[in-house]
Structure 1
Amino acid sequence: MATNLIFIADPMCSWCYGFAPELDALQQGLPEVPVEIVLGGLRTQQQPLDADGRQLIHTHWEQVQAATGLTFSSTALDTEGFIYDTEPACRAVVTARGIAAQTSLPVFHAIQQAFYAEGRDVTQAAILAEVAAQAMSNAGHAIDAGQFQEIWSSAAMVDATQADFALTRNWDVQGFPTLVLERGRDLDLVTSGFVTMPVLVERLEELVEQQAAA
């Protein structure tokens, strides 16, 4: 029976950023289990953040930093007129997945690093293309930023991204990150929200034991 993990997330979700080291550790321990990514579309808005919205996000980031020890740069967030629209970043991951599926997670993590740790504005096409192309090249699929941006801009990638968002809604995902264990036609929730790697392992073991006892 084919077994894999489905990671439902958004590269501009702060708890997904906090979850990245936990997922990486899990993958290192279970290299034989593929991880597929579905993009969630956390925020798809077109209005600049106001002071209250910016402060609320800062509060979330402080909570993630306290729980994980990860560092944050608010350079992009604090830029006047910043629009917290996660669709472009999600579309960059979908684009990478469409070009070379094995690069989707490296691109996802590279966008997280660029936005949260480096404070870069990953809502901007040129920055996204640069970050994604470098991550794809590092993962073994060379592509230049211009070529990536051209594909990213296509109607096909816009539609594919919206299909991911629709799938997330259809699955009634309650929060990000969400991790699901897929075995054949069976889907079992591993976590909805941030947990540490040992908790992930414990929950996976419980699911395996439940199936064995069935």
Structure 2
Amino acid sequence: MPGPSGALYPVVKLVYVFDAYCGWSHAFSGTLRALTERHPDLPVEVVSGGLFTGSRRVPIREFGFIKDANVEVTARTGARFGDAFNRLLDEGEFVMDSEGAARGVAAVREAAPERAAELAIAVQQAFFHDGRSLSDPETFRGIATDFGLDGDVVVAAFHSAQPEADFVRAARFGVSGYPTLIALDGTNGYALARGHATAEEVEERLAAIR
């Protein structure tokens, strides 16, 4: 991240770069929720990554490591995976498409940008607990309804969203793995987490740059 070593800047906002189909991003939900509760005045920008695009858009059975990886995720972080999601794994036919997920994230983010972090957590919950497809606009209609947003507006935004814009922004931050949490002040960025980190660990890093 750019910025002079050791310089202290007031943090303008956090940038959360994640992929809604990433199990480790799902595991970061608890940390993200804790941070937003502790710092309600600190804006969070949510950016979608493109983990499952191109040749990686294949039936989920092709990723045979996911079950073992999720066991590790739960052991290390306490994150849980719902029965509906586990049925998708067992059936093996579901295709994770990060472009569809990024469309949905952009749609709900546009409807309530100040609640982007909460909405990102809800999107991950829809897949990893409820087994809902993130390529289905009706999934995001349901999330919108839960948050008191206009479902029709969100579905329309889903269809017009440009997921590539998120992927480009993630690349400009130099993000190659998910989740990544960045403290941003103007053009100066500081990585607070790459992969999993507890809220306490992030707090320590945030305090060091504030």
Per the shorter chain, which TM-score range? Answer: 0.7 to 0.9
Deviations 1:20-79 (A, max 9, x none): 1111111222222111111112211474326441x2111221111111222213123333
Aligned residue number for residue 180 of structure 1: 182
For structure 2, the 5+ residue unaligned runs are: 1-9
Deviations 1:79-110 (A, max 9, x none): 34211112212211111222331233232111
Match for 1:15: what amino acid? W
Contact 1:76 1:121 survives alignment (8 Å) = no
Which of these residues, 70, 89, 100, is aligned with residue 77 of structure 1? 89
What is the SS of the residue equivalent to 2:96? coil
Distance 1:66 1:2 in 2: 32
**Aligned pairs, how many?**
197
Distance 1:51 1:13 in 2: 15
Distance 2:11 2:62 in 1: 47
Q: CA RMSD in A?
A: 2.0
What is the SS of the residue equivalent to 1:77? helix
Identity, % of aligned pairs? 28
Aligned residue number for residue 49 of structure 1: 59
Give yes or no for the alignment of 1:151 onto 2:157: yes
Aligned residue number for residue 15 of structure 1: 24
Contact 1:91 1:152 survives alignment (8 Å) = yes
Match for 2:59: what amino acid? L
Distance 2:115 2:38 in 1: 19
Distance 2:140 2:111 in 1: 15
TM-score scaled by length of structure 2: 0.84
Distance 2:114 2:173 in 1: 24
Contact 2:24 2:195 survives alignment (8 Å) = yes
